[in-house]
Amino acid sequence: MTLSELLSNEELRQHEFPVAREKIFLAHAGDCPLPRRVAEAVAKYAQQCTLGDQETFVYPQIVETGRQLASRLMNSRPEEVAFVGPTSLALSFIAGGLKFKRHDNILVYFDDYPSNVYPWMALANKGVQVRLINVRELGVIRPIDVLGQVDEQTRLVALASCHFVAGYRIDYQAIGKALHDRGILFCLDAIQTLGAFPTTVEHVDFLAADAHKWLLGPCAAGLMYVRQSLQEKLDPHVYGWNNVRCPNYVAQEQIVYRQNAQRFEVGSHNFFGLVGLHAAMELILEIGVENIAAELLRKRAWLVPALEAKGYKVLQANAGTVNASGIVTFHRPGTDLPALHQKLETANIVTSLRADRAGQRYIRLSPHFYNTDAELHRLLELL
């Protein structure tokens, strides 16, 4: 199935994405509806599980091929991919597993999504200096902003690939390369780009992303990437039969972690989540991430001026193709945005209502590749 086939055949589109039969779903930066093939894969597996051992039907193939699919998405090695669940858990593993020295500092963005703030803030209790990056606009983090606020004691920089409200995609490749040139580690919360825009790890040391947004997979079926050269330097701080060697399920006298990313997978896998994630990654790769990114930018290119023509202020309206994303967030002085959000909901148009630190409310749009121009025009009519 190609993107053009999907968008030109309404019957096919509604077959593959049943949510389109009843709703205009424009909130993929929140929690996505499941595509048909993802839901069917999970349902088929659930039915199989009524007939015997739950692991028998999918293990170990689903884990092995899942790592291969994830590595294709991120341009990594399969042995660098771990399935640990939510983004929050993966980021906590990374923050808690690194060893810091006294006077080390890390750089984070205080207005990132809390999952990428709290794990790093907690390091202050270990004597790590937690620095908060200064920026001029919400979510707008430029390479110069990062490089101007690191020094010889900076051990790590942790940022999101795209801000969840402003929709600004950072130039993470330029930032990561510059940090590596200075010997500084780089951790990326990629939940708002993986599956929507090319998000690869050539200049990234750690990455975390759940499946329930742009990847179109189940909740808590996320990916964690750890560069192979750093895996033994990241202490999992968790212990179980799966990540610690125990031949024939017999505990040993010494705790020895398994090789590669499996050292972070403590116990039994979430096979329902993995089955769904597997189907979702196959779908994303079938359509093509480059094709998805181009389609999201095409939609944005005409949607932003259409919103501005109606008097709305769009965050990062003039972002170029390097920094623009699938997120379009807007507000208008004097407009009751919660009421407008509810009006759209009543009309079966699903958007997200968000706010910044100052309490300013916004409506956030995050259409995916399968949303049509006609659906977006219907949104504009109601606005």
In 10 A of CB 237, how many CB atoms?
Answer: 10
**pLDDT at position 75, please?**
98
Q: In angstroms, rounded to a whole number, what is the distance separating the alpha carbons of residues 328 and 156? A: 30
Q: How many residues does the chain have?
A: 383
Q: What is the pLDDT of residues 85-122, one digit of tens each?
A: 999 999 999 999 999 998 899 999 999 999 999 999 99
Q: In angstroms, rounded to a whole number, what is the distance separating the alpha carbons of residues 293 and 275? A: 25
User: What is the full DSSP assignment across 1-14?
Assistant: --HHHHHH-HHHHH
Q: Which residues of the chain have pLDDT under 70?
A: none
Phi-psi region of 116 (alpha: psi -120 to 50; beta: other; left: phi over 0): alpha
pTM, full prediction: 0.97
Tell me the two tokens of residue 49.
């599980």
**Whether the Cβ atoms of residue 24 and residue 349 lie closer than 8 Å to each other:** yes
Q: What is the pLDDT of residues 257-292, one digit of tens each?
A: 999 999 999 999 999 999 999 999 999 999 999 999
Q: What is the pLDDT of residues 11-29, one digit of tens each?
A: 999 999 999 999 999 999 9
**pLDDT at position 102, please?**
86
Boundaries of every domain in the chain? 3-26+288-382, 45-286
Give residue 366's Cα distance to chain centre: 13
Give domain 3-26+288-382's CATH number out of 3.90.1150.10, 3.20.20.140, 3.50.50.60, 3.90.1280.20. 3.90.1150.10
Q: In angstroms, rounded to a whole number, what is the distance separating the alpha carbons of residues 359 and 9? A: 42
- Domain spanning 45-286 has what CATH number? 3.40.640.10
Q: In angstroms, rounded to a whole number, what is the distance separating the alpha carbons of residues 108 and 129? A: 11
